[in-house]
Amino acid sequence: MSKKETMKSTFGRPVGNDQNSLTAGERGPVLMQDVHLLEKLSHFDRERIPERVVHAKGAGAHGYFEVTADVTKYTKAAFLSQVGKKTDVFVRFSTVGGEKGSADAERDPRGFAIKFYTEEGNYDLAGNNTPVFFIRDPLKFPDFIHTQKRDPATNLKSPTMAWDFWSLTPESIHQVTILFSDRGTPATYRHMNGYSSHTFKWYNDKDEYFWVQYHFKTDQGVENFTGPQAKEMCGKDPDHATRDLFRAIERGDYPSWTLEMQILTPEQAEEFEWDIFDITKVWPHSQVPPITVGKLVLDRNPENYFAEVEQAAFNPSNLVPGIGVSPDKMLQGRLFSYHDTHLHRLGPNYNLIPVNQPKHSMQMNHQRDGAMRVDDNGGGRPNYWPNSFSNIQPEGKNEEPDIPLHGAGSRYEFAHPNNDFVQAGNLYRQVMTDSDRDSLIANIVGHMADVPLRIKMRQCAIFYLADAEYGERVAHGLGLDIGHVKRLAEITQEQRVAETVDL
Ligand code: NDP
């Protein structure tokens, strides 16, 4: 142990006694003037900040990203400008629907959020371990998340709420198929891939732009739990993935991921079979072969969980020159929602918290004050712009290339709902092995066992539309009338809902 240090209060006064409260007489009562006791209790009472409404349970680590291929023809981002260049990162993995104390092995997508501390400011990529998502319009997000949380009446998790929503939201079928495969229960955070899921824009120093998707492929290999293994782990060690990540880094077994990018020119995107701004779809590898771009390595554990992991705030709108957003509606919604959440949880100065602070390009602007402003708050410099007293000024140039936008302002439904079943079917037919399919069916049948009949019927028709065998096997597992499921698959979603309402 290092040299003894005197305990001090938060305002720096040496503490004389930290074991006995100040009392009137030996047996009390306690005196109000015990300011040390009052300070200690009142700080304790305020130890918890609001937990994240999604992704509440997580684990994180520090590391670096290294560029392994020249991508300067696609992006001018400084941190991607040279082969061999390394950039500090902080990564947080998480589950989505559970509370802060929930089990790591629950069936759920996993968050895979990366903060790159670049010389041009922080770049955040808040991705998941799945390449797609359940919905593609942010207006549906709070409803969807409510179905993943607790029933308002019973305060219990409710498969009925989840399947009710999914069966009324057919575009969810692709992500539902991934979630109920064994990829919905990764063995650890180290043994899963990370995806941007959204399409982003890269642009170079000639202002040419490209549409891109990120794939961080685990170098540890993908490993998953089966449904029964995951259930067992939830009871045996609810923190198993948090523990695994910490212990691996502690013993010097640093996890890494290879970054592969899919890249399309705007012209290729125009002719592409899939809507590249629809987050319920992937870009098939055969049509857009990924190129290897870099390596992500995690080699340092946090020293203090609250300071570095709980207070870490990732924001998809933290972008650097050379990287921009796409019109993907879900991404557009997240540009608002993440920042807004951090304002609620951590306050307006959350970017001054060390883990969130840009390390190599400090903020320099005319924003001032607010709760927990803990730096010099701009000192004596002017707090308005334009001014004639300071030399802080905008660069004075266009920030990124224009993209053409057109159409009347309206609330548009997605144009090609029939496509929603194709990729889920391809995954079932072409990518999954026999044992993957067996796990998928067993996981779904187990989870749906107690939901009302009308929801089972509607959802099985959706499975059937993805793949006839898929729909038949789930229907069989649930003991449903397969002929009726087939008939429901032949009518529109609107008709299906009407026809099942009284079941
Ligand atoms: P490919 O055969 O080229 O790629 C299949 C991909 O599926 C691989 O990246 C593989 O990841 C991943 N995969 C394997 N098993 C599962 C599973 N149980 N759940 C989810 N993903 C899995 O095919 P395509 O690119 O033509 O895509 C076919 C289907 O594969 C898609 O409809 C989609 O569902 C799925 N997929 C596609 C991705 C893409 O970006 N194109 C990414 C991930 C999934 P790995 O190599 O790491 O094992």
Within the chain, what is the greatest distance between any pair of CA atoms?
85
Please compute the mean of the pLDDT values over residues 405-434 and round it to a whole number: 93
Residues 293-346 pLDDT 10s = 999 999 999 999 999 999 999 999 999 999 999 999 999 999 999 999 999 999
3-state class of 396 per DSSP? coil
On the question of pLDDT at 74 being above 90, the answer is: yes
Percentage of the chain exceeding pLDDT 90? 93
- For residue 27, the one-letter residue type is R
Q: Is the CB of 436 under 6 A from ligand 1?
A: yes
Between 46 and 397, name the one with better pLDDT.
46
* Ligand 1 centroid to residue 419 C-alpha, Å: 17
Domains of the chain, each with CATH number or no CATH: 58-138+187-356 (2.40.180.10), 417-502 (no CATH)
Under the banding of pLDDT at 50, 70 and 90, the label for residue 1 is low
Ligand 1 atom closest to Cα of 215? 40
* Ligand 1 centroid to residue 146 C-alpha, Å: 28
Query: Which protein residue has the closest C-alpha to ligand 1 atom 41?
Result: 284
3-state class of 175 per DSSP? helix
CA distance 322 to 331: 18
Please compute the mean of the pLDDT values over residues 179-204 and round it to a whole number: 98
CA distance 470 to 465: 9
Please report which helix (H) or strand (E) contains residue 35, including its range: helix 35-45
- Taking the chain, what is the end-to-end CA distance rounded to the nearest angstrom? 70
Please compute the mean of the pLDDT values over residues 71-75 and round it to a whole number: 98
Hey, what are 169's tokens? 């939201």
Q: Is the CB of 219 under 6 A from ligand 1?
A: no
With vertex at residue 415, the alpha carbon angle to CA 410 and CA 421, rounded to the nearest 5 degrees, is: 140
Residues 145-182 pLDDT 10s = 999 999 999 999 999 999 999 999 999 999 999 999 99
Evaluate whether 308 touches 302 at the Cβ level (below 8 Å): yes
The pLDDT value given to residue 163? 98
Average pLDDT, the chain: 96
Query: Which protein residue has the closest C-alpha to ligand 1 atom 9?
Result: 285
CA distance 418 to 435: 28
Q: Is the CB of 317 under 6 A from ligand 1?
A: no
Residues 437-489 pLDDT 10s = 999 999 999 999 999 999 999 999 999 999 999 999 999 999 999 999 999 99
Query: Which protein residue has the closest C-alpha to ligand 1 atom 24?
Result: 284
Query: Which protein residue has the closest C-alpha to ligand 1 atom 5?
Result: 431
What is the set of active-site residues?
55, 128
Q: Is 338 annotated as a binding residue?
A: yes
Q: Is the CB of 222 under 6 A from ligand 1?
A: yes
Please compute the mean of the pLDDT values over residues 72-78 and round it to a whole number: 98
Residues 350-378 pLDDT 10s = 999 999 999 988 888 999 999 999 999 99
Radius of gyration of the chain (CA): 26
The pLDDT value given to residue 385? 93
